[in-house]
Amino acid sequence: MPLSTEAVPNRPLSGAELIEYVLSVMRKRLESDCHFTRTIAYRQIAFDVTVHFHLGTPVGEHVVAVSGLNEEGTWKAGAPPLSPEPEEAEVVASEQHAEVNDPNLVRVHTGQPIVTVTKTPPKPGDILPKIERHETRYDPTNYPEPQAPVETDTSDKTAENWRVARKKRSRE
């Protein structure tokens, strides 16, 4: 008979863990774009961040009140286009769609701990078993990346919505 059991549950992502994941996706996207390097600076900027979530049923009993959304489920306020429009203005916009099928893999790649629970049977004379929680961080290089978000370039659509002429740049 084993003296202890260890469980490594693949629990659903909490709201705080989901925030870390979304921020890491956005950080990777922005850091990979040539418009956001240390050698480029802008006198003016305007941007919209549109985030849509399709969330499964929450675990536990939760009441979530969200204010500031319009009928389409996006935030009411958006960044206006720059005024006056700079001569060399550029509109860069994209949408990303990500699905999480392995919450622990997301935790590993966003630097969050995975909680393991160890349950040891009670010692003679004790009534309750000993339950210990341990937080372990794993090296992400030892695990596959989570499924990458699917990105769609929406620069033309955004420029049209903002009524801004989009400069077509040749790729050399």
The answer to whether position 120 is within a domain reads: no
**What local confidence, expressed as pLDDT, does residue 172 receive?**
40
Q: Over 80: is that where the pLDDT of 43 sits?
A: no
Question: What does the pLDDT look like over 73-113, one tens digit per residue?
Answer: 444 445 555 555 556 566 777 888 887 788 889 889 989 99
How big is the CA angle at 77 (ends 20 and 168), to the nearest 5 degrees? 85
Count Cβ neighbours within 10 Å for each residue of 92-103 and write b for 16 or more, e otherwise.
ebeeeeeeeeeb
The answer to whether position 117 is within a domain reads: no
The answer to whether position 132 is within a domain reads: no
The answer to whether position 100 is within a domain reads: yes
Question: What does the pLDDT look like over 115-166, one tens digit per residue?
Answer: 888 889 999 999 999 888 899 999 999 999 988 888 888 888 877 877 777 6
Question: Tokens 């709201």 identify what position?
Answer: 15
Q: Which pair of tokens denotes residue 73?
A: 């489920």
The answer to whether position 140 is within a domain reads: no
Q: φ, ψ for residue 152 (rounded to 5)? A: -125, 125
The answer to whether position 77 is within a domain reads: yes
The answer to whether position 135 is within a domain reads: no
Amino acid at 24: S
This prediction has a pTM of 0.58
Q: Is the dihedral of CA 57, 118, 111, 152 positive or negative?
A: negative
Instruction: Please enumerate in sequence order all residues whose Cβ is within 8 A of that of 47, keeping only pairs 6 or more positions apart, or say none.
Output: 79
129 half-sphere exposure, CB direction, 13 A CA radius = 10
Give the structural domain span for 30.
11-57+70-110+149-162
Number of domains in the chain: 1
**What local confidence, expressed as pLDDT, does residue 81 receive?**
57
Q: Which pair of tokens denotes residue 95?
A: 């949408």
The answer to whether position 141 is within a domain reads: no
